[in-house]
Structure 1
Amino acid sequence: MMGSMSAPSSLLRIQRAVNHQGKRAYHDLVTLPTKKPIVAQGPPGYSAVSGHVVTVFGCTGFLGRYLVSKLARMGTQVIIPYRDEDEKRHLKPMGDLGQIVAMEWDIRNENQIAECVRHSDIVFNLVGRDYATKNFDFASVHVDGAERIARVTAQSGVPRFVHVSHLNASASSSSKLYQTKAEGEERVTAAFEGATIIRPGPLYGYEDKLLNNMAIWPIWWKLNNAKTTTRPVHVMDVAQALANLVHNPQLARTIALPGPSTLTYEYLLDLVSSLTYQPPSRAPVLPKTVALAVAKLAQAPWWPLLSPDEVVRRYIDDADTPGDWDAVGVTPSEIEQHAIQYVRRYRSAENFSRPNVFPQRPILTEEPYGLGF
């Protein structure tokens, strides 16, 4: 009696296991130029296995955390190189068990870089910094470091490499950050043939240095009478664009990802003021020479409050480069659609639930911007 009941039970368990695993087909198998097979299995989602192994340098930064989250939710195994133990802890729960692999590294140690990339089929370099320090200046990170990562990645036989630069990267720029970003692009393309260069605009999101800083220190955004134009882009849109590159063929070119609209800092200050219900700042507009002097004094603390190069960048308009969002399969969203999520925290308790009031959009071209609000 017991034997007759155990056979159907065993078959039922096997059938359930097969159904849970899902069916495989030819589209689940991808062969890279290195002859490495990529086999996907399981239903799409967090607990799936996409078959890809991805290394994300700069994963603990602003853009990096969202890219890791996007990749892990697709069932991709992500290698997360880190410098500080505490900075990578929040990344561990983003993927299923064993899918987030942390490895300690140093940007000057080629052996550690090689260990981080030797099992990967695509490597992202998001490493960058907004200010220079005595240990890491702009050139050591954006130029030498980027070249080193690209060269070791190529020597390790990784078929694809994606380097994140900046929309305003230019060798003739007055900003040292933008100069080194441009030089880094040249070094990367020379070290890794067929590398993809991504040029996003200024990013905004929960931990950004755009909307949050405008809510706290609006005086530093009033430089140049706040007439500097910018093309802000949502960090989630850029992260999704990068994640889509994992499943697409290698794009051996430079892809610009600016925001959908060109705005002035004046408009963004009005936007933040209207969403936080804080009165506009009445602080005087500082001359550039005074702002540079204050920025140099601000270098005294171990955590710089404001760098001179940031002051220079406040006077530089974002490049008028057409976006190539179709190549990455993403439609960028307007900043008004998301800004309230990131600046509501600066409202007082009595204003926290008040409705939003958007300022009048500036007309910077012959055609007004249509938002649908």
Structure 2
Amino acid sequence: MAAITTVRVTGLFGRQSWNQMLRINGCISVQHRQSSEKVPVKLTAMKRGTGGRSSFSGIVATVFGATGYLGRHVCNSLGKIGSQLIIPYRCEAIYTTRLRLVGDLGQVLFFPFHLRDEAAIRKVVQYSNVVINLIGSDYETKNFSFHDVHVEGAQRLARIAKEAGVEKFIHVSHLNAKENPQKIWKGSDYLRSKYESELAVREEFPEAIIFKPTDMFGEGDKFLMHYACKGRWILQQLPLWKKGEQTIKQPVF
């Protein structure tokens, strides 16, 4: 049970210091009562306000991958209902500028981290009741392969979130994630790693929520910009697998 402190002040203090306040004619009475029982209080029970931007929704969410296309829309939606956001980022701080306005003053916190730094991950999830993993890469680099980012990274986040007592872990995969994706040359390593990430997350956080969206389009996306980039506009060419006759795209907005 939380401590209850009652303060009753009588007298005229003005701008005098604390030592001077004790000398003036007045009375300060402090009553402090505390129970030895520790009753955990869920954040969802601390909702305040009417549900708008300046309210508190009861959600304290850590959003990994918030600087991506989907991430900024997720953060904006959470901020509109009065959620507190903790945004870990791996990029330069300047790329987080647009996210500073998604929530009310003091409700959006930023923290630099590394995907292999478990201590930093623990810091950003220890006070949250929701953790959302949107981290993904469209291509491999010399430092991070698809397996490093999608499988090992997701598994690490799920494990640490479970250890920290997080109530909900939300992981975003892909609609076509399969163990053996349809082969175009050798099959998609991206989709295969997304499938493996689902298994890894389930292993560490069995009750995790896994979303499997298809390609997404909208303002500033990578789907439409892929077809409208300057190189294709100048060359007037767009390579399509088997003339596009066997390709089906059903993007979501």
Q: TM-score range by the shorter chain?
A: 0.7 to 0.9
Question: 1:50: how far off?
Answer: 1.0
Structure 2 match to 1:194: 207
Q: Does residue 225 of structure 1 match 2:222?
A: no
In structure 2, distance between residues paired with 1:128 and 1:137: 11
User: Percentage identity across aligned positions?
Assistant: 40
Map Cα deviations across residues 280-308 of structure 1 (whole Å, 9 max, x no partner).
Answer: xxxxxxxxxxxxxxxxxxxxxxxxxxxxx
Map Cα deviations across residues 202-226 of structure 1 (whole Å, 9 max, x no partner).
Answer: 0101121211221223744523212
In structure 1, distance between residues paired with 2:248 and 2:209: 27
| Contact 2:216/2:252 (<8 A) preserved | yes
Q: Map of 1:300-339 to 2, 5 A cutoff?
A: none
* Max Rg structure: 2
Q: Map of 1:154-233 to 2, 5 A cutoff?
A: 154-173=162-181, 174-216=187-229, 217=232, 219-220=237-238, 222-227=240-245, 228-233=247-252
Question: 1:178: how far off?
Answer: 0.3
Which protein has the bigger strand share?
Answer: 2
SS at structure 1 position matched to 2:132: strand
Structure 2 match to 1:36: 42
Q: Map of 1:344-363 to 2, 5 A cutoff?
A: none
Which protein has the bigger helix share?
Answer: 1
Question: 1:35: how far off?
Answer: 4.9
Map Cα deviations across residues 151-206 of structure 1 (whole Å, 9 max, x no partner).
Answer: 01001110110000000100101100000000010000001120011000001011
SS at structure 1 position matched to 2:161: helix
Unaligned runs of 5+ in 1: 1-33, 235-373
Structure 2 match to 1:141: 149
Map Cα deviations across residues 303-332 of structure 1 (whole Å, 9 max, x no partner).
Answer: xxxxxxxxxxxxxxxxxxxxxxxxxxxxxx
Question: 1:94: how far off?
Answer: 1.3
| Residue type of the alignment partner of 2:251 | P
| Contact 2:63/2:87 (<8 A) preserved | yes
In structure 1, distance between residues paired with 2:41 and 2:190: 39
Question: 1:62: how far off?
Answer: 0.8
SS at structure 2 position matched to 1:101: strand
Deviating 4+ runs (over 4 angstroms): none
Query: How many correspondences in the alignment?
Result: 201
In structure 1, distance between residues paired with 2:60 and 2:122: 14
Question: 1:64: how far off?
Answer: 0.2
Map Cα deviations across residues 42-90 of structure 1 (whole Å, 9 max, x no partner).
Answer: 1221111112100100000110001000000110001100122111111
Higher mean Cα deviation, 37-46 or 67-76?
37-46
How does the TM-score come out when normalised to structure 2? 0.77
Structure 2 match to 1:258: none
Structure 1 match to 2:109: 101
| Contact 1:214/1:221 (<8 A) preserved | no
In structure 2, distance between residues paired with 1:219 and 1:151: 46
Structure 1 residues 74, 159: CA separation in 2 closer, same or farther (over 3 Å shift)?
Answer: same
In structure 1, distance between residues paired with 2:123 and 2:252: 33
In structure 1, distance between residues paired with 2:176 and 2:58: 35
How does the TM-score come out when normalised to structure 1? 0.52
Query: Which of 131, 138, 159 matches 1:130?
Result: 138
| Residue type of the alignment partner of 2:65 | G
How big is the alpha-carbon RMSD for the aligned residues of Structure 1 and Structure 2?
Answer: 1.3
In structure 1, distance between residues paired with 2:113 and 2:67: 12
| Residue type of the alignment partner of 1:201 | T
Q: Does residue 47 of structure 1 match 2:54?
A: yes
SS at structure 2 position matched to 1:189: helix
In structure 2, distance between residues paired with 1:35 and 1:125: 25
Structure 1 residues 221, 59: CA separation in 2 closer, same or farther (over 3 Å shift)?
Answer: farther
Q: Map of 1:223-372 to 2, 5 A cutoff?
A: 223-227=241-245, 228-234=247-253
In structure 2, distance between residues paired with 1:186 and 1:72: 30
In structure 1, distance between residues paired with 2:200 and 2:214: 21
In structure 2, distance between residues paired with 1:37 and 1:65: 23
SS at structure 2 position matched to 1:229: coil
In structure 1, distance between residues paired with 2:239 and 2:73: 26
Structure 2 match to 1:332: none
Structure 1 match to 2:31: none
SS at structure 2 position matched to 1:202: coil
